[in-house]
Amino acid sequence: MYRWITITLLTVALISVSIWGYHSNKQKNDLYVQAENEYQRSFHELTYNMDVLNDQIGTSLAMNSPDKLSPQFVDIWRISSNAHANTGQLPMGLLPIHKTEEFLSDLGDFTYQTAIRNLDDDPLTDEETEQLEKFYKQSGEIRDELREAQHLSLSNGSKWMDVEQALLNTDTDGKKDNDMVNSFQAVEDSFNASTEETTEESTTSTDTEEHSYKNVTGNDLTEEEALKKAEKIFGREDGTEWTITKSGDGALTPMYSVSYDENGERGYADLTVKGGHPLNLLISREIDGKQLSLNEGFEIASDYLSELGFDEMQLFQSSEYDKVGIYSFVYEDDGVRVFSDAVEVKVALDNGDITGLTANNYFKNHVKRDIPNPAISEEEARDAVNQNVTIQENHLAIIDDSQGKEILTYEFLGTRDDATYRIFINAETGAEEKIEKMTDAEINYNSVI
């Protein structure tokens, strides 16, 4: 009797486990296939994008009339942006395909800039045509490599899900055990071969360029001197135990990082080796009940800046986030606001302690400037602003244009209905340089529920 009950129970158990096992295995396979299909879609779309890109660039080289060129460039720009998005969805984290991504990004920038230009008055220069030819050649090379990869993957049934494993295992001859990986490696290598003479790693500059920090002056400090400086900046001359390290080769300017941990408070700062200027400062601790207003915090922040020797700084923006006030200051050069010389200060609104400072941009960009007089009057600049915008406030300002060059502008703050805009009109040419819609407070969805 008991035997039969046991047998029945075990049989039932066995059957249920099998069903459960079957289901979870099926589920796992479904997910696997789904993830693989996502990768496959990105990959096949990318190769298709490359096909089209190469064709379109080739076509544009044969075009003559601006009427046709501009829409053509818009199309190339759109496709390159698609292709860039697709490269971002491939699991290549361990094998960066940066050359390909940089190519797509450069191509996008180039075609965008030329597409929005009036090509009737301002046709392509010889250098630009040359650049376009280079894009054509490169896109052809990438297309060929990708086509080969596509063919291999279709005929061998290679899986993207295996790529990660393959990236970790390298054969003795340095080849990876995966068609896809090898093809992408070939694409990257083709860049190295074909663009060697022109490659300038603009954005990923690896060598230490001290001149990229224009405003770092003084003698090189030893660790002891840097610590003295840190004690003064943090106001901790009472035997705090400091940790100090020096930055490595990759840093844009050599710096010391100092930190301390005391009574649940953590402080950290980056000081330049040259002169010991504070680039970053952060203090993290629990903040008690709010005692100070945002405005009182502002007084503290601006006193602190003058104490550290930042002169002529003007408040440009302030915000309160959960008992902390964050203040952005810009340098004011003879009535002109210089946006690239910004400094941010953080003040805890419980006792008014400074809990943060970042002056990175200030030390990078601040120089003695020779600011020209504006070529157009404020009235003329006002006329360049959309008639539906009511101008409320205006300043002279120096901003970076899209090429990163500093330009003098009229800055107008204006409203249209409920929205506020910041509009920059070039003080030289009267062109609209930049328009920003200001972000307003956001509904706190927690309080709505």
Shortest distance in whole angstroms from residue 167 CB to another protein? 7
Q: Of 126 and 200, which has the nearer Cβ to another protein?
A: 200
What is the contact mask toward another protein in residues 116 to 155, using x (rule: CB under 8 A)? Answer: ----------------------------------------
Toward another protein, which CB reaches closer, 48 or 268?
A: 268
For 408, residues 6+ apart whose C-beta sits below 8 A from its C-beta are 336, 371, 372, 374, 396, 397, 398, 426, 427, 428
Residue 366 CB, nearest distance to another protein (Å)? 15
Three-state secondary-structure class, residue 53: helix
Q: How far is the CB of 182 from another protein (least distance, A)?
A: 15
Q: Are 268 and 258 in contact (CB under 8 A)?
A: yes
Min separation Cβ 399 and another protein, Å: 14
Reading phi first (left if > 0) and then psi (alpha if -120 to 50, else beta), residue 312 is in left
Rg (alpha carbons) of the chain, rounded to whole number = 30
- CB-based contacts of 152: which residues, under 8 Å, 6+ apart? 158, 179, 180, 183
Distance CA 112, CA 101 (A): 16
The answer to whether 284 touches 269, Cβ cutoff 8 Å, is no
Measured between alpha carbons, how far is 239 from 244 in angstroms, rounded to an integer? 15
The only residue of 1, 5, 193, 448 in contact with another protein, by rule CB under 8 A: 448
Q: Which of residues 164-183 bind another protein (CB under 8 A)?
A: 164, 167-168
From 15-23, 143-151, 220-228, 414-422, give the range in contact with another protein by CB under 8 A: 414-422
Query: Which segment (63-71, 105-113, 121-129, 191-199) binds another protein by CB under 8 A?
Result: 105-113
**Beta bridge mates, 315:** 329
The beta strands (E) that lie in 176-273 are given as 243-246, 255-262, 265-272
Q: Is the dihedral of CA 11, 17, 23, 29 positive or negative?
A: negative
Measured from the CB atom, the residue of 118 and 203 that comes closer to another protein is 203
- Per the CB < 8 A criterion, the answer to whether 398 and 390 are in contact is no
Q: Are 267 and 283 in contact (CB under 8 A)?
A: yes
Q: How many CB atoms lie within 10 A of CB 387?
A: 7
| Total number of residues that touch another protein (CB under 8 A) | 83
Name residues contacting another protein, limited to 303-332 (CB under 8 A): 317-326, 328
Sequence length of the chain is 449
Q: How far is the CB of 105 from another protein (least distance, A)?
A: 3
DSSP secondary structure of 70-107: HHHHHHHHHHHHHHHHHHTTSS-TTS--HHHHHHHHHH
**Residue numbers 368-387 binding another protein by CB under 8 A:** none
Which range, of 222-230, 304-312, 339-347, 381-389, touches another protein by CB under 8 A?
339-347
Nearer to another protein, 195 or 318 (CB): 318
Tell me: does residue 257 bind another protein (CB under 8 A): yes
Of the two residues 96 and 235, which places its CB atom closer to another protein in the complex?
A: 96
Subset of 30-69 contacting another protein (CB under 8 A): 39
Which part of the chain contacts another protein (CB under 8 A), choosing from 58-66, 171-179, 204-212, 401-409?
204-212
Closest CA to 332 of 358, 310, 306, 313: 313
User: Minimum distance between the CB of residue 65 and another protein, rounded to whole angstroms?
Assistant: 31
Residues 341 and 363: their CA atoms lie apart, in Å, by: 8
| Minimum CB–partner distance for residue 344 and another protein (Å) | 5
- Is 90 a binding residue for another protein by CB under 8 A? The answer is yes
CB of 121 to another protein, least distance (A): 29
Binding mask 224-253 for another protein (x = CB under 8 A): ---------------------x-xxxxxx-
Among 392, 402, 428, 431, binds another protein (CB under 8 A): 392
- Residue 226 · residue 276 · CB < 8 Å: yes
